[in-house]
A and B are shown apart, each in its own frame.
Chain A
Amino acid sequence: MKFSTFCKAALACALLALPGTAHAFDPGSTECIAPANPGGGWDFTCRQVGKTLQDLGLISGTMQVTNLTGGSGGVAYAEVTGKRNKDNNLIVAASSATSTRLAQGAFPGANMDQVRWIASVGADYGVIAVSKNSPISTLPELFDKIKADPGSIAFAGGSAVGGWDHLKVLIAARKAGFKDVRKVKYVAFEGGGEAITQLLAGSVQAFSGDASEAKGFVDSGDIKVLAVLAPERMPGDFAKFPTAREQGIDAIGANWRGFYGPGGMSDEAYKFWEESIAKLYNSPEWKKVMETNGLAPLDLQGAKFEAFVKDSITDIQGLSREIGLIK
């Protein structure tokens, strides 16, 4: 094939001349699949990364963004593993939602080893909050109340039962010493905004969501953040809120954003994407995008990122089994 000769030639050049400066792989027209409608989180990831990669000169030309909707990302996953398995120019936007679905077997016949996990571009850490009038002011207090009377507290979140907003509550509950996490009540709403509205309306007593969703209401003082589910205090406005870890509940819930590529992607191409996204991540341009969009640092590429996804899938499987979502 023409392409592999080109690769070999390029590889030979790189080996002979200056290792590290020349790429063994130079993509032609690149493409990013956003497994959801325009306007959503995955779409945003594709478009922002595509634009920044182009601005930084890491890819030539514009990255084409394709919206491939369906099955909460499952349709795109099937398309990539089935029809586009050898495509070196393709990356696909992914997030915690992707690993959650993979863990719960919601993509029939799919597992994480069918694709190559490239890198993360940031994370949105979870928060647990109550309304400003609530008598509760720390996370352990909240969980003590649930232990004493499980019916008294209902959590609201923007994802389905078994989805990420729910799992964050369960991760925290497990670390807080719950034997049976199913006792913790969770009510699913269409999106974090609606969940917060119901918290303000008094229909529910606590909220589980991402820091970016809560930001507007934190600024206005309508809600009280009990804990941030991050390894350490977040930068900026959220710095004043303690982490769960500080309060003795060692729970971390990061809604990460990143990319996977086709399983049959060549090693050269994989290395190209890994390095390009690492460069993107370290650029001031991307730092600005992260800041404006409430993304916190999560700097993982290649094997490290793959291990991270694997761990998170194992965790989610354990939890999902506990709540009876999978057998």
Chain B
Amino acid sequence: MDTLHALGDGFLVALSFQNLALAALGCFLGTIIGALPGLGPSNGVAILIPLAFSLGLPATPALILLTSVYYGAMYGGRISSILINIPGDEPAMMTCLDGYPMAQAGKAGEALAISGIASFVGAFFATWGLVFLAPQLVKVALLFGPAEYFALFALAFATIGGVAARNQIKAAFATGIGLLIAMVGVDLQTGVARFSFNNIHLYDGIDFLVAIVGLFALSEVFVFLEHRAGGGVDATKVPLGRSMPSAKMLGHVTPAVTRGTIVGFLAGVLPGAGASLGSFLAYMLEKKVSGRKGTFGAGDPRGVAAPEAGNNAAAGGALVPMLALGVPGSGTTAVLLSLLLALNITPGPLLFQKHPDVVWGLIAALFIANIMLLALNLPLVKIFVRVLQVPSRYLMPTVAMVSFVGIYGISGSSFDLLVMVGFGIMGWLFRKMDIPLVPVILGVLLGKLMETNLRRELTISDGNWGALLDSPLSIAIWTCAILGFVLPLFIGRFIRPAAVNNEALDSD
């Protein structure tokens, strides 16, 4: 019960007036940052670091402020996904798939409330996982070498075909484009720049945030412009519907939330995986388990609940390697880590022993932030849904403005803005051709990691491909990928194997 005792001490630290106020401020700012396209959790935290410095905050309050922003942003990302089909940050991408159709069907309030509750549950259990399982979970992270990560990303790619139910070839094409974009920039394993055309701006590759904002937000603006220019009418008013889901519906989504939480948490714990993979796998698993009727993608509440539980659980999970090993499991935890260093706290295996006040204060703050976020988010659903009533002619310029300011604010680079516009045009074309956008981002996000891990393993094994199947864990993951996702496509229906083949080739 030492753990509970330590946690109790943590609550004493976190429950001071100043820390509570900071947590509330962090939650509020985080929700907004998460909801605005172009600003995600990692940028939000990075931008607020100077604020923490200039307020002269000591370690624990500074961490409380910034982790509240982190959790808040994970909550907030879903809002714009559901309401305007633009993910506020990258892990919220999967929430678009069913959240937006729900909003279109007049269930925006329910979608927001369900996703809020799912976020709460995911983050709540992930934080408990952090409390009790951190030392054990570190051992799980140590089971994953490059070969196992490669298998894990292969599993993710095996499931991509399921994202777009309608046309597998288009999904494969979109994935290929994503992989191509992921190739741009310096190749870690040789130190040579690829596809950068000697342009210094392309040397570090293309930031997927720029890609996401361009593909989703700007293309939406372009589509709007096109309809206006053609003299089209404004979209018909969408009914707002109820703002709390019925008990029956909550019961209906509970299994989805549970599965999403577990999958997301595990993905978060692995330093090389992260929240995007967590929400993606949570969605795909849910679709596999309960989506046989084809309701997924058309506004199934479980399709909202699973990825939201997943990405918030992953946010908690990512703190496990950060606190227990000093290894960031996501972009945001990397930023938090640099904050710890700046505050004279060396992260690493001894953090729990050396700075228990910091660690347990932080964990207690996570619980508090999580409850605050739920309390903040549920009543606000009624206000958020009003966004749907804002006429597009006001909403779209705002989206465009926020996108530009957000991207420029992070990098200070006008080149990134041009790339973003390029992606906007690409997204607009893809929408016209009915090519799904999500696989493009997944290709960018996961393709690079998959390639890197393959190359690492091959360097270590001196080019022996057999090393990829050298551990029971990697064999197990491969078996999962093949039995669960690839074989059914061949055995079940003979209509689509061609697309799967294409994809397998593309992802090489």
With an 8 A cutoff between CB atoms, is B188 at the interface?
yes
A111 within 8 A of B: no
> Considering the chains assembled together, what is the distance between the CA atoms of A67 and B413 in angstroms?
9
Q: In the complex, what distance in Å separates the CA atom of A202 from the CA atom of B143?
A: 9
Q: Which residues of A contact B143 (CB under 8 A)?
A: 201
Contact of A78 among B47, B200, B334, B460 (CB under 8 A): B200
Closest-by-CB residue of A relative to B144 is A201
The CA-CA distance from A323 to B191 in the complex, in Å, is 11
Instruction: Indicate which residue in B203, B335, B348 contacts A219 across the interface (CB closer than 8 Å).
Output: B348
On whether A47 and B271 interact (CB within 8 A), knowing A71-B203, A154-B459, A203-B460, the answer reads: no
Q: Are A196 and B327 in contact (CB under 8 A)?
A: yes
- Does A39 contact B348, Cβ atoms closer than 8 Å? no
Question: B411 contacts A201, CB within 8 Å?
Answer: no
Query: Does any Cβ of B come within 8 Å of A297's Cβ?
Result: no
Q: Considering the complex, give the chain A residue whose CB is closest to the CB of B344.
A: A292
A317 to B148, CA, bound (A): 36
Q: Does B402 contact A (CB under 8 A)?
A: no
Chain B, 334-352, contact with A by CB distance < 8 Å: what is the 0/1 string? Answer: 1101110110101111110
Mostly, the A contact residues are: mixed
Q: Which of B102-149 contact A (CB under 8 A)?
A: 141-146
For A104, the chain B residues whose CB sits under 8 A away are 191
Contact stretch, chosen from A2-10, A22-30, A157-165, A303-311: A157-165
B15 within 8 A of A: no
- Please tell me which stretch of A183-191, A227-235, A251-259 contacts chain B, meaning at least 4 of its Cβ atoms lie within 8 angstroms of it: A183-191
With known contacts A106-B203, A202-B145, A38–B328 Cβ distance under 8 A = no
The reply on A178 being an interface residue by CB < 8 A is no
Contacts of A190 in B (CB 8 A): 188, 272
For residue A151, which residues in chain B have a CB less than 8 angstroms away from its CB? 462
Does A70 contact B326, Cβ atoms closer than 8 Å? no
What total count of A-B pairs have CB within 8 Å?
163
Q: How far is the CB of A321 from chain B (nearest CB, A)?
A: 13
Which residues between 139 and 167 of chain A lie within 8 Å of chain B, taking CB atoms?
Answer: 151, 154, 160-163, 166
Enumerate chain A residues within 8 angstroms of B146, measured Cβ to Cβ.
Answer: 187, 198, 203
| Nearest-Cβ distance from residue B47 to partner chain A, whole angstroms | 6
A39 surroundings in chain B (CB, below 8 A): 45-46, 49, 334-335, 338-339
Chain B interface, >50% SS class? helix
Q: A71-B201, A194-B271 are in contact. Are A217 and B145 (CB under 8 A)?
A: no
Residues of A within 8 A of B191 (CB): 104, 160-163, 166, 325
Q: Which of A40, A154, A188, A325 contacts B338 (CB 8 A)?
A: A40
Q: Is A268 an interface residue (CB 8 A)?
A: no
Nearest chain A CB to B417 CB, angstrom units = 12
Q: Is the CB of A69 within 8 A of B145?
A: no
Contact of A71 with B328 in the complex, beta carbons under 8 Å: no
What chain A residues lie within 8 Å of B145 (beta carbons)?
A: 198, 201-203
**CB of A123 to closest CB in B, whole Å:** 16
Q: Residue B316 at the A interface, CB < 8 A?
A: no
CB nearest neighbor in B for A212: B341
Take A74-B203, A151-B462, A200-B142 as given contacts and tell me if A69 and B348 are in contact as well, using a CB distance cutoff of 8 Å: no
Residues of A within 8 A of B225 (CB): none
Establish whether residues A188 and B348, one from each chain, have CB atoms under 8 Å apart when the complex forms: no
A191 in contact with B200 given A38-B47, A39-B49, A198-B146 (CB within 8 Å): no
With contacts A68-B413, A220-B350, A292-B344 taken as known, whether A194 is within 8 angstroms of B459 at the C-beta atoms is: no
B349 engages A222 (CB within 8 Å): yes
Given contact pairs A70-B413, A154-B459, A108 touches B200 in the complex (Cβ within 8 A): yes
Assess A38 versus B350: contact at CB under 8 Å? Given A75-B201, A78-B200, A108-B198. no
In this complex, how many residues of chain B approach chain A with their Cβ under 8 Å: the count is 60
Alpha-carbon gap, A47 to B343, bound state (A): 13
Judge whether B8 is part of the interface by a CB distance below 8 angstroms. no
The answer for the CA separation of A40 and B187 in the assembled complex, in Å, is 21
Say yes or no: A216 contacts B346, CB within 8 Å: yes
- Measured CB to CB, the closest approach of chain B to A35, in angstroms, equals 10
Q: Is A197 an interface residue (CB 8 A)?
A: yes
Are B200 and A107 in contact, with the CB atoms below 8 A?
yes
The answer to whether A197 touches B327 (Cβ under 8 A) is yes
B53 within 8 A of A: yes
Contact B49 A106 (CB under 8 A): no
Residues in A neighbouring B200, C-beta threshold 8 A: 70-71, 74-75, 78, 107-108
Contacts of A247 in B (CB 8 A): none
A39-B49, A72-B204, A161-B188 known; A216-B459 Cβ under 8 A: no
**A-B contact list, 11 entries, CB within 8 Å:** A37-B410, A40-B338, A65-B50, A69-B413, A70-B416, A78-B200, A161-B191, A187-B146, A193-B326, A219-B346, A293-B341
A interface with B by C-beta (< 8 Å): 37-40, 44, 47-48, 51, 65-72, 74-75, 78, 104, 106-108, 151, 154, 160-163, 166, 185-191, 193-194, 196-198, 200-204, 212, 215-217, 219-220, 222, 292-294, 325
For the complex with contacts A185-B459, A216-B349, 8 further pairs of A-B residues with Cβ separation under 8 Å are A70-B200, A188-B188, A193-B328, A194-B271, A196-B325, A204-B460, A216-B346, A219-B348
